[in-house]
Structure 1
Amino acid sequence: MTHAPAVAVRATDLTKIYGSGDTAVRPLKRLSLEIPAARFTAVMGPSGSGKSTLMHVLAGLDVADGGSVVVGDVELTGLEDKRLTRVRRERLGFIFQAYNLVPAMTAEENILLPSRLGRTPVDRQFVDLVVERLGLTGRLHHRPFELSGGQQQRVAVARALVSRPEVIFADEPTGNLDQAAGAEVLELLRAAVDEFGQTVIMVTHDAAAAARADRTVLLADGQVVDTLEAPTAEQLAAAMIEAGR
């Protein structure tokens, strides 16, 4: 008997509205979605489809105007700020296109920052494993301005991995990188799932990047229009064209 995979993140009837009246914009329109645990899910859609808004709402970085978000066994909807901050710090990891590193800190200090802010113990053996896997061993004492774009993004990936969050949110993580550096980041996100059992949710516009995921959720006009299991880049490109019509 086959058991359905556990659900890492569940969104139900999510609605988001910016503005009011005739000028109101609704990037999410009663969107419902389940993200399976320990799998790599990509989110794609035409410009304006709501994918970045969905990412921010699922991660507790923005608040929906309707519906609910449950991460694991915790409902984020309606949580007070202090508790929400704790959930984000203890259970979620973030990788942004702009890296979001602290300029005055070394690579190592940036990597360990979430653990130190959360006052959680650091598993030095796991940190060393991630740092070595990312090829950052010789760069730990460099500050961001002394690193290439690819190295900065690898520091951001390490920062997201080392506290072993249940869910890693990656917002266009390869958007500012050349092809080789982008491929490295995607390898690491795959490793987070395949080797470390984490859940990865990645927003991307790149069909080749999304093809590295286990499944891709396709959005259009604030709603889920399709979910593709292990699609090829060609299938995703065709689906994107169809969604944009």
Structure 2
Amino acid sequence: MNTSPTNHDTRQSPTAAPGTAPAAPPMSMNAPARPTAIQAIGLRKTYGEGDATVRPLDNLSLDIESGRFTAIMGPSGSGKSTLLNMLAGLDTPDSGEVFIGETPLSKLNDRRLTAIRRDRIGFVFQSFNLVPAMNAEENILLPSQLTGAKPDRQMFRRIVDLLGLGERLKHRPHELSGGQQQRVAVARALVARPDVIVADEPTGNLDSNAGEEVLGILRASVDELGQTVVMVTHDPRAAARADRVVLLADGRLAGELTEPNPDSVATALMNVTNAGGAR
């Protein structure tokens, strides 16, 4: 498989508004290439017809690098949630292709696609999605139970220790704070050692302290466990924890930042939003 679409370059910077500095320098072209965990090529998606037509993705191509933390941002309606769903195999494009490693998702039947989502992608949602009748340990090990695989107890213990859940394993979700519930959800996503963690607004239902805690855990999963994380967020402070911020507008790539900080992310997002409003 050719892992780089012809003439495809996502390393553009967002157009700066008059009087503002560029959001961030592009990535050095001399930086060593990393393996690609997920590749999207020419994704298009359209809903509705006529005057009601909405096109959340418009010929969008993107590589998600392995072992890095990528954040996806953009104004409301820019296509970021649709893109995340397609990268995770939860939605299908009208045209284009998504590869998980070397595997093209469009070529899979429902059974194999379900297996890909179960075995190679870990999900962290805004709403936690824990099973109320199960305690924390049972929720974390649920994917292993569903597949009949024997859980890796060493990895389980390492993740539990990393997330500080050792004293909470026998508690059910209603006995945990929101931050603790999200830590359980992150542990559940990590314990099966998926290729990619997909996080959709993972701090959206948390207060600022709990949100920072969860972001720190996602960051640590990359730095300490070598995990690949791709996250949709509207929060510049959350996005600044990533290695790379990809900006969308009108279903297309609008630029990206490397080595982001909250100010550079906020400025870039403002520039993209203003540019869209000016059209």
Please state if 1:211 is matched with 2:240. Answer: yes
**Which residue among 152, 155, 167 is the counterpart of 1:126?**
155
Q: Does residue 22 in structure 1 map to residue 51 in structure 2?
A: yes
What does residue 230 of structure 1 align with? 259
| Residue of structure 2 aligned with 1:66, choices 95, 100, 115 | 95
Deviates further, 179-188 or 159-168: 179-188
Kindly provide the CA deviation profile for residues 190-234 of structure 1, in whole angstroms up to 9, marking residues without a partner as x. Answer: 111111111100000010111110000000110111011111110
Q: RMSD over aligned Cα, in angstroms?
A: 1.1
Aligned residue for 2:174? 145
Q: Does 1:192 align with 2:221?
A: yes
**Candidates 272, 276, 279, aligned match of 1:243:** 272
Structural mapping, 1:32-51, within 5 Å: 32-51=61-80
Match among 155, 160, 168 for residue 197 of structure 2: 168
> In structure 1, what residue type is equivalent to 2:145?
R
Count of aligned positions: 245
> Within the alignment, does 1:12 sit opposite 2:41 as a pair?
yes
In structure 1, give the amino acid aligned to 2:113.
L
Q: Which amino acid aligns with 1:151?
A: Q
Tell me how far 1:107 sits from its aligned partner. 0.9
What residue identity is the alignment partner of 1:159?
A: R
Which of 104, 111, 118 lines up with 2:140 in the alignment? 111
The partner residue of 1:78 within 97, 107, 123 is 107
Q: In the aligned structure 2, how far is the partner of 1:26 from the partner of 1:50?
A: 8
CA distance in 2, matches of 1:37, 1:118: 25
Q: Which runs of 4+ in 1 moved over 6 A?
A: none
Per-residue deviation at 1:2? Answer: 5.9
Partner Cα separation in structure 1 for residue 223 and residue 125 of structure 2: 21
The match for 1:182 is 211
Distance 1:136 1:231 in 2: 30
More displaced 10-residue stretch of structure 1: 32-41 or 2-11: 2-11
Structure 1 residues 36-88: Cα deviation after superposition (integer angstroms, max 9, x where no partner): 11000000001111101100011001111110000111111231110000011
- CA separation in 2, counterparts of 1:101 and 1:21? 40
Distance 1:3 1:216 in 2: 18
**Would the alpha carbon gap of residues 2 and 54 (structure 1) be closer, same or farther in structure 2, given more than 3 Å must change?**
closer
Kindly name which structure, 1 or 2, has the bigger radius of gyration based on alpha carbons: 2
Task: Report the secondary structure of 1:182's partner residue.
Answer: helix
3-state SS of 2:106 partner: coil
Alpha-carbon offset, residue 119 of structure 1: 2.1
Matches of 1:148 and 1:54 in 2, distance apart? Answer: 30
Q: Any gaps of 5 or more consecutive residues in structure 1?
A: none
- CA-CA distance at 1:17 after TM superposition: 1.2
Q: Give the partner amino acid of 2:124.
A: I
Partners of 1:120 and 1:164 lie apart in 2 by 13
Alignment-mate amino acid for residue 37 of structure 1: S
Structure 2 residue ranges without an equivalent (≥5): 1-29, 275-279
Task: Determine the C-alpha separation between the residues in 2 that align with 1:195 and 1:65.
Answer: 38
SS at match of 1:12: strand
User: CA separation of 1:2/1:30 partners in 2, compared to 1, >3 Å: closer, same or farther?
Assistant: closer
